[in-house]
Amino acid sequence: MTVVSVEHALAGRIPAGGEVTVRGWVRTRRDSKAGLSFVNVSDGSCFAPIQVVAPAALPNYESEVKHLTAGCSVIATGTLVPSQGQGQAFEIQASAVEVTGWVEDPETYPIQPKAHSLEFLREVAHLRPRTNLFGAVTRIRHCLAQAVHRFFHERGFYWISTPIITTSDAEGAGQMFRVSTLDLANLPRGKDGAVDFSRDFFGKETFLTVSGQLNVEGYCLALSKVYTFGPTFRAENSNTTRHLAEFWMIEPEIAFADLAADADLAEDFLKYLFRAVLDERADDMAFIAERVQKDAVTRLEAFINAPFERIDYSDAIGLLQKAGKKFEFPVEWGLDLQTEHERWLTEEHVGRPVVVMNYPEHIKAFYMRLNDDGRTVAAMDVLAPGIGEIIGGSQREERLDVLDARMAQFGLDPEHYGWYRDLRRYGGVPHAGFGLGFERLVVYVCGLSNIRDAIPYPRAPGNAEF
Residues that bind ligand 4AD (CB under 6 A): 170-171, 211, 213, 234, 236, 243-244, 247, 249, 251, 389-394, 433-437, 439-440, 451
Contacts with 119 (C-beta within 8 Å, 6 or more apart), sequence order: none
- C-beta of 19 vs 236, nearer to ligand 4AD: 236
Check if the beta carbon of residue 87 is closer than 8 Å to that of residue 62: no
- C-beta of 127 vs 429, nearer to ligand 4AD: 429
Pairwise CA distance, residues 244 & 21, whole Å: 41
Burial class (CB in 10 A: 0-12, 13-18, 19+), 148: buried
Tell me how far, at minimum, the Cβ of 279 lies from ligand 4AD, in Å.
24
- At 78, the amino acid letter reads G
Tell me how far, at minimum, the Cβ of 22 lies from ligand 4AD, in Å.
37
Tell me how far, at minimum, the Cβ of 368 lies from ligand 4AD, in Å.
9
- C-beta of 398 vs 439, nearer to ligand 4AD: 439
Pairwise CA distance, residues 130 & 149, whole Å: 27
On the CB side of 187, how many CA atoms lie within 13 Å of its CA? 11
Tell me how far, at minimum, the Cβ of 245 lies from ligand 4AD, in Å.
7
Pairwise CA distance, residues 271 & 71, whole Å: 38
DSSP for 66-134 reads GG--TT-EEEEEEEEEE-SSTT-SEEEEEEEEEEEE--S-TTT-S--SS---HHHHHTTTTTGGGSHHH
In three-state secondary structure terms, 395 is strand
On the CB side of 171, how many CA atoms lie within 13 Å of its CA? 21
Tell me how far, at minimum, the Cβ of 293 lies from ligand 4AD, in Å.
19
CA 466 vs. chain centroid, Å, equals 19
Tell me how far, at minimum, the Cβ of 421 lies from ligand 4AD, in Å.
17
Tell me how far, at minimum, the Cβ of 454 lies from ligand 4AD, in Å.
9
- C-beta of 200 vs 267, nearer to ligand 4AD: 267
Tell me how far, at minimum, the Cβ of 28 lies from ligand 4AD, in Å.
36
CA 411 vs. chain centroid, Å, equals 33
Tell me how far, at minimum, the Cβ of 236 lies from ligand 4AD, in Å.
6
- C-beta of 79 vs 175, nearer to ligand 4AD: 175
Check if the beta carbon of residue 34 is closer than 8 Å to that of residue 96: no
- C-beta of 171 vs 200, nearer to ligand 4AD: 171
- C-beta of 287 vs 366, nearer to ligand 4AD: 366
DSSP for 141-208 reads HHHHHHHHHHHHHHTT-EE----SEESS-TTSS--PPEE--S-GGG--B-TTS-B-GGGSTTSS-EEE
- C-beta of 103 vs 451, nearer to ligand 4AD: 451
- C-beta of 4 vs 244, nearer to ligand 4AD: 244
Q: How far is CA 66 from CA 27, 29, 94, 99, 163, in A?
A: 14, 8, 14, 11, 53
